Structure 1
């Protein structure tokens, strides 16, 4: 017997799923028989069967007493699935509209708050790969002239995120330089990735060892990622710093490492 919870993906409640599965196994059932087989309270079964009928999953047989029969799954579930997809698309549209409206409403509040004198407003601490990845992609998309990057394993972003992180600025013709540790070439997947992006404009040099992960975007912001030494699995904390003095210092450190590194030849 299928798990009733699997029908929840199509928008059925637990009672509706149990009732439909019970109906599938018999030519027809009375409400009392559905309640007994599906373990639904008698006072609820009539509402459940009416809902299944409205959703096109069962038919009413005008017997005496009244009975119900399941509609063939291929027909019933296809129709229900289409309705569910339509509703999800409406929900996406409502979500997009809400994001747009809230952005327009909250943006002025944020800009007004930027005028407050907060000495730590330029520092943002991020924990977890998902948050770091999301912010990294936003920063890469906002870069205007150049990105300086120090890359070392283990990587925080997924392969798709890493590709997008570099493809976005490369597609806009930015100067993108990346320092990799020489050991990175031992990873065939990573080496193939470097070869691919090098052909799209990424300038790569190799160095024996890097102290940390770092990406500097123009002269405005730097993202520094550090592995958590206490985590059993790879865990990271990242710091986003919007301070021109700090970014200048990190870019100077990058230039020093860049001069001592050797060019990568794929």
Structure 2
């Protein structure tokens, strides 16, 4: 089927430029042509025809016949197509070798990069509400060896320690059950929390599960430390006009150990809790 436009596209797909394909197709229609004749037949600009013919000659697709005016002739189309396919194979082989070298060169960087994480991957930022309560419950319920808890009423908050969205005066209902494997289970609460149902309820629940509980006039911050490796701490924004608390969950052994020393300092100055009332004070 004669379809010159398809022939042109196929030759271009085999690696010829559009001008090269047009000139080759013009040359196969005659035994030989001068450069000017080839330019007219192929509708290629005269100023480009010699560059195009030189490229076709270098690729072995065109022969020259010397004379008063140099004549150009196309080689047999089957041979031309075979040459172009061979060029494509060689290019593909070269690309495959280069791609293999590239993959080998990139592999060490990729392998070492698998050990590189976000520098703050060990820190999770939470706001008051369900995510905070869930994270606290997961930490406390998941602790296996040691769990240290400090609780205080946020400044200006008369609801005790209920998470945001829960009505004031309801008893705390932790969503966790402490593990029996805990060897060190201690909690320090501010005295003021006994005045609220939520605070008193949580203190009683912890004590019922075997926690050593103490009370202090002032607890510096809300904090939980699990297994000397995980810390949940609530930080009050000192610049905010209204109460604004950001809670961090940090997986960091050194920080957990340092804050354990801070907890022990508060613990030694706190007073034992005995039932529903402080033992002294």
TM-score (norm 1): 0.50
TM-score (norm 2): 0.47
